[in-house]
Structure 1
Amino acid sequence: MDRVQSMQVFVAVAEEEGFAAGARRAGLSAPSATRAINGLEAQLGTRLFTRTTRRLHLTDVGRRYLDDVRHILTSLQAADDAARGAASAPVGLLRLTCPNEFGRIYILPILLDYLNEYPEMRADLVLLDRVVNIVEEGFDVALRIGHLPSSTLSAVKVGAVRRVVCTAPAYLDKYGTPTTPADLSAHRIVAISAVSSATEWRFGTDQQQVVRITPQLCVSTVAAGLDAARAGWGICRMLSYQAGRDVAAGRLACLLEDYEPESMPIHLVHTEGRRAPAKVRSFIDFARDRLRADPVLQALSSSNGCGG
């Protein structure tokens, strides 16, 4: 087995955290994968893994080597793509991660169309409501909502969102419309624990206006909060993209728009910059154009903060 193949096996075993799973991913038998890793360790003169009866762990050297090998393999793939003209016909597995609701509403439909456009591609979409280290966890692309910290990642802005307060028109007809954040104390509140604090909501561009809330209903998912708001049961707070389509259809109305916090940017992030492989470049271009064309993600300066 040549050095590049050994590196590919090493990455597969490291990411799958086991020889058997890594071997299956690499299309090898477990003994072959073991021999490849043993040979690589012999060439390097160091251990890349610590092995126990239950688990396989990267050593400190192994973790650093994994980052370097990923960069090497990505560069090799980019060179191969350029040589064979694969930029117009990307192939392989694309691993993506993004927040749950954003993935369901936006990324999955885009990804389905992308796979129809490029039938030689495969995709693994992981929906997680946490910030993922895309290098350590082996992702090609991540979608992030919020201001990005300084890093070596490349980022493409595709839109913006902000926190909005909304409810059904039927609720407002029955209970009246709050005109200041302080008015919320007299209303039924539905809190979504996955979106914001269940005890206080912050308003204003500097988020210094704090309103203590006592929700009559607290739910753990955005979908449940939307259902309660659509039913006219109470007032809910969520991100503008989550309510946008309901606002556009007249099922929800946004409140307290003059008190909304500053908007948060949406970025597609990836490693390698211009050296990214064809599969990454093609998906970034495909998704960027679709997301930038969506009025809910672009119309934050319109007459309602939900972008409808």
Structure 2
Amino acid sequence: MDRLQALKVFVMVAQAESFTAGARTLGLSGSSATRAINELEESLKARLFTRTTRRVRLTEVGRDFLEEVRDVLAQLQAAESAVTGAAEKPAGQLRITCPQELGRIYIAPLVAEFLEAFPEVSAQLLLVDRNVNLVEEGYDAAVRIGDLPSSGLTALRVGAVRRVLCGSPEYFSRFGQPLQPADLGRSHRLILTGATRREWRFGHDQRMVVRVEPRLVVNSVAASIEIARKGWGICRALSYQVADDVEAGRLVLALEDHEPSPAPVQIVYPQGRKSPAKLRAFIDFASERLRKIPALRLDGR
């Protein structure tokens, strides 16, 4: 197998964590993929994968090599497109990831609209509440909430959101409005999303910490908001998640003067000498539309 094809096999196997699945995407047999990787490792004098009976995983050397190979293949594709005159025509599969609720409310409809505008592009959208490693897992872009740690990624800010406390008018009529964060530990029914962190932080610098004793713990933001909407208790959410309820009067915000600073909403993508047309088109398309959403306004309000 020639070196270029072997590099493509390497990328597909790394992405699928399987010789068989990776080979299938290229129309090859699993044995051909295994042979190609073995020859590649032998020529490089380095082990790229650790193998078990269930899956294959990249070694540290393999992870570094994967990033370089993806860059090389992207440059080659761009060069070929330039020769054929298709460099500026968005095409191919776009892989995007974002948090679940942000994806459900805004990003999934936006991606569908994008595909309508660019018929030669297909998309895979992963909604998951973790920071996916774009390079290692083969994603083109992510929409993320929060500051970007030091990395080899580019971030384009498209908005901001606040972490808010809310309950229904009926709930506050019955139990009263908390006036200070410390009031939450006294006579209020608190709904906690997630079972691990039992501290809520308040204030611009988040130095005010309240130890919460929730009456109810759920693993779904949407569920906690629904329970608060029904008048049972107080939940904590991101402002965009309850924007429609607050505007309609179904939920009321509490302790607004004690909220942490807004968190940025950003489109994140790997740095590269030249991004493919499909990614450039998506970034332009998504940034323009996300910046127009009132619940994601840059001032966070």
Q: Same fold (TM over 0.5)?
A: yes
Alignment-derived partner of residue 123 in structure 2: 123
Say yes or no: does 1:22 pair with 2:22: yes
- 1:155 shift after superposition: 0.9
The 3-state SS of whatever aligns with 2:206 is coil
Q: How far 1:32 moved relative to its partner?
A: 3.2
User: How far is 1:171 from its partner?
Assistant: 1.6
Match of 2:66 in 1: 66
For the residue of structure 1 that corresponds to 2:137, the secondary structure is: coil
Q: Per the alignment, in what secondary structure is the counterpart of residue 136 of structure 2?
A: coil
Contact (CA 8 Å) 1:161, 1:265: kept in 2 or not? yes
Q: Structure 1 pair 132/120, CA: closer, same or farther in 2 (3 Å)?
A: same
Q: Which amino acid aligns with 1:189?
A: L
Give the secondary-structure state (helix, strand or coil) at the position aligned to 2:149. Answer: coil
In the alignment, is the contact (CA less than 8 A) between 1:86 and 1:278 conserved in 2?
Answer: no
Q: 1:173 to 1:300 in 2, by over 3 A?
A: farther
Letter in 2 for 1:180: Q
Tell me how far apart the structure 2 counterparts of residues 82 and 231 of structure 1 sit (CA, whole Å): 57
TM-score (norm 1): 0.89
Q: Tell me which residue corresponds to 1:105.
A: 105
Give 3-state SS (helix, strand or coil) of 1:275's partner: coil
The letter of the residue matching 2:94 is: L
Which of structure 1's runs of 4+ aligned residues deviate more than 6 A? none
Q: Offset of 1:177 from its aligned partner?
A: 2.0
Q: 1:23 to 1:250 in 2, by over 3 A?
A: same
Which residue of structure 1 lines up, in the alignment, with residue 151 of structure 2?
151
Change (3 A) 1:240 1:122: same
Summarize deviations over 1:251-295 as a string: whole Å, max 9, x none. 211111111111111111111346111111111111111110100
Go from structure 1 to structure 2 and tell me whether the alpha carbon gap of 1:81 and 1:180 turns closer, same or farther (over 3 Å shift).
Answer: farther
Q: What is the CA RMSD across the aligned residues, in angstroms? A: 2.2
Question: How has the CA–CA distance of structure 1 residues 82 and 153 changed in structure 2, closer, same or farther, with 3 Å as cutoff?
Answer: farther
Aligned counterparts of 2:150 and 2:169: Cα–Cα separation in 1: 42
How far the C-alpha of 1:18 sits from its partner, in A, is 1.8
- Identity over the aligned pairs, expressed in percent? 56
What residue identity is the alignment partner of 1:249?
A
User: Which residue in 1 is equivalent to 2:135?
Assistant: 135
Structure 2, unaligned runs of 5 or more: none
Residue identity matched to 2:239: S
Preserved CA contact (<8 Å) 1:182 1:211: yes
Per-residue Cα deviation, 1:85-123 (whole angstroms, up to 9, x for no partner): 545531111111111111111111111111111122121
Q: 1:30 to 1:241 in 2, by over 3 A?
A: same
TM-score (norm 2): 0.91
Distance 1:241 1:110 in 2: 16
- Report the Cα offset of residue 55 of structure 1: 3.3
Local SS of the residue matching 2:25: helix
What displacement does 1:136 show? Answer: 1.3
Show the 5 A alignment for 1:140-179.
Answer: 140-179=140-179
Give the AA of the match of 1:227.
E
What is the aligned residue count?
A: 300
